Amino acid sequence: MKSLSILLTVLAFCSTAQPQPIMVGSKRFTESYILGEIAKTALRNAGFTVEHKQGMGGTIILWQALVGGDIALYPEYTGTISQEILKTKQPLSTDEIRGLLREKGVGMTGELGFDNTYALVMQRDRADKLSIHKINDLREHPELNVGLTHEFLDRQDGWAPLSARYALQMRNVRGIDHALGYAALANGSIDVKDAYSTDARIAENNLIVLDDDLHFFPQYKAVFLYRLGTDARAVTALEKLAGTLDTARMTRLNAEAERTKNYALAAAVYFGKKPEPVAGQLAGKILRWTWQHLQLVGASLFLAIIVGIPLGIRASRPGPISDFILSATGVIQTIPSLALLALLVPLPFFGIGPVTAIFALFLYSLLPIVRNTATGLQDIATAVRESAAALGLEPQAQLWKVFLPLASRTILAGVKTSAIINVGTATLAALIGVGGLGEPIISGLNLNDYSTILQGAIPAAVLALLVQFFFDGLELVFIPRGLRLKQR
């Protein structure tokens, strides 16, 4: 039923929403959230219906969503556009960038004003003690621990070319989430990390930006990228934002968002208005997230059951097809959730939305169900198997009347495992704007705010326990009494 209601919601979205709202996307960090909110407000003021899908992922996911038409616009940086999207070696002028983007059906607004370049930061007292002020100074300290965001580690204007340019020989370099990196810097587990120059936490945490004395980092001027088909009045409204945000103002907005934990409020501050009162109390929000979460889990689990049990039945017979089914479902399990989403989002039917989240969760739910169904059936004793055949039951009847009921305990255990894992994994849905209990967890991570993280993490844990109790109860219904009795 849950799955049905989600499907209906999806269909309703597709067919009845007239006029189509303009979809604004943003990346997974505070500044991008705020710029997304600013664009949303500007377009709304111009009379459009707007939706903001917050924190959808990194550059590739956002770009694919833009080109694929899932979103109409998102904030981006000129350096990222030339290095990551257009993949050019030499620096390009703004006009050159605009020309190359047009060929891909994408337009670019004028620069918003501030330059958010990458920077390397350290704790001020630690840097002073080691007398490190420039990136060049790191050459004398190859023993320092460097913790970088995964994106920076892989970027063409990221760590590898930076170390080559400065001839750095750092021995300890590892990838760490951006928000967690600040905590790691504060407690000394890392000494150096990457940051954005407008990041409010640089001032807040008393960090220093290491001077880019060889001018390695390209300029990262903020702009909005939009699909060329977008309403001209909407583009005009966005263009009005150009040149209105200098570095100081952006840093202040970032600080405001982190202090109040409210991106919409920061956007409102930009427009010089008093913020709207916060809608909904905490309990209401948690209920809404939990309900969305349950719908995701329910729909994906339902699909996994109706697909996984037949697959498991097939996989219980020996042979290459069974080996393939079991290895394929196993391999799916090893794909990290972010990578799976990044693979699904650009595909035609998927994009950003509940369908993609449900499909990803469905894939992750398959393994325990398929494997337990296969094992449960294989474990039925030969004597019982042959008795069923010798009675003269057709193979189908043997399966339905004898084998499946006998394997029911193992099969249900697989479904239960899937359901519990699914409750945890469903937090990934928030990455593509579908909501659920992942929403507070991810924004809490970005804001480095534990109480927000717990608003999602605690209900998720409680939900996992409830799901377990629910299935314990279900065993009484689904597992025949004869299998629950102890041997005399």
Partner 1 sequence: MIELKSVSKSFGTMVALHETDLCLEAGKTTALIGPSGCGKSTILRLIIGLLEPTTGTITIEGHRVSAAEILTLRRRIGYVIQEGGLFAHLTAGQNVLLMAKHLKRPLGEMQTRLGELCELTHFPEKALSRYPVELSGGQRQRVSLMRALMLQPSVLLLDEPLGALDPMVRTRLQDDLKEIFQSLQQTTLLVTHDMAEAGFLASRIVLLNEGRVVQSGTLDDLRTRPASDFVRDFLHAQRGLTEV
Residues that bind partner 1 (CB under 8 A): 383-384, 386-394, 397, 401-402, 405-406, 408, 480-483, 485-488
The Cβ of residue 133 has, within 10 Å, a number of other Cβ atoms equal to: 15
Closer residue to partner 1, CB minimum distance, 274 or 488: 488
Closer residue to partner 1, CB minimum distance, 306 or 397: 397
Beta strand 145-148 with 172-175 is parallel
Q: Identify whether the C-beta of residue 75 lies closer than 8 Å to the C-beta of residue 263.
A: no
Exposure b/e, 367-381, CB count within 10 A at least 16 = b: bbbbbbbbbbbeebe
Q: How far is the CB of 394 from partner 1 (least distance, A)?
A: 7
Angle at 451 between CA 445 and CA 452, to 5 degrees: 50
Strand order in the sheet with 50-57: 50-57, 22-27, 73-77, 222-227, 106-108
Q: How far is the CB of 386 from partner 1 (least distance, A)?
A: 5
Closer residue to partner 1, CB minimum distance, 91 or 480: 480
Residue 271 backbone phi and psi in degrees, to 5? -80, 5
Q: How far is the CB of 414 from partner 1 (least distance, A)?
A: 18
Q: How far is the CB of 381 from partner 1 (least distance, A)?
A: 8
Closer residue to partner 1, CB minimum distance, 336 or 392: 392
Tokens of 286: 């948690």
In Å, how far are 315, 366, 377, 378 from 320, measured between CA atoms?
Answer: 9, 19, 17, 16
Q: How far is the CB of 407 from partner 1 (least distance, A)?
A: 10
Closer residue to partner 1, CB minimum distance, 232 or 477: 477
Closer residue to partner 1, CB minimum distance, 346 or 405: 405
Beta strand 222-227 with 50-57 is unpaired
Q: How far is the CB of 292 from partner 1 (least distance, A)?
A: 38
| Side chain identity, residue 277 | P
Closer residue to partner 1, CB minimum distance, 343 or 397: 397
Closer residue to partner 1, CB minimum distance, 89 or 486: 486
Q: CA quadruple 104, 105, 110, 114: dihedral positive or negative?
A: negative
Q: Identify whether the C-beta of residue 205 lies closer than 8 Å to the C-beta of residue 186.
A: yes
The runs of H, that is alpha helices, within 200-319 are: 201-204, 232-239, 247-260, 263-270, 282-315
Closer residue to partner 1, CB minimum distance, 140 or 394: 394
Q: How far is the CB of 487 from partner 1 (least distance, A)?
A: 5
Q: How far is the CB of 404 from partner 1 (least distance, A)?
A: 10
Q: Please state, in angstroms and rounded to a whole number, the distance separating the CA atoms of residues 349 and 342.
A: 14
Q: How far is the CB of 411 from partner 1 (least distance, A)?
A: 13
Q: How far is the CB of 16 from partner 1 (least distance, A)?
A: 48
Closer residue to partner 1, CB minimum distance, 412 or 442: 412
Q: Prior bond to 405 cis, omega within 30?
A: no
Identify the DSSP state of 81.
Answer: I
> H or E segment at 108?
strand 106-108
Q: Identify whether the C-beta of residue 181 lies closer than 8 Å to the C-beta of residue 207.
A: no
Q: How is 23-79 classified by DSSP, letter by letter?
A: EEEEESSHHHHHHHHHHHHHHHHTT--EEEEEEEESHHHHHHHHHHTS-SEEEEEHH
Q: How far is the CB of 477 from partner 1 (least distance, A)?
A: 14
Closer residue to partner 1, CB minimum distance, 237 or 407: 407
Q: Identify whether the C-beta of residue 231 lies closer than 8 Å to the C-beta of residue 49.
A: no
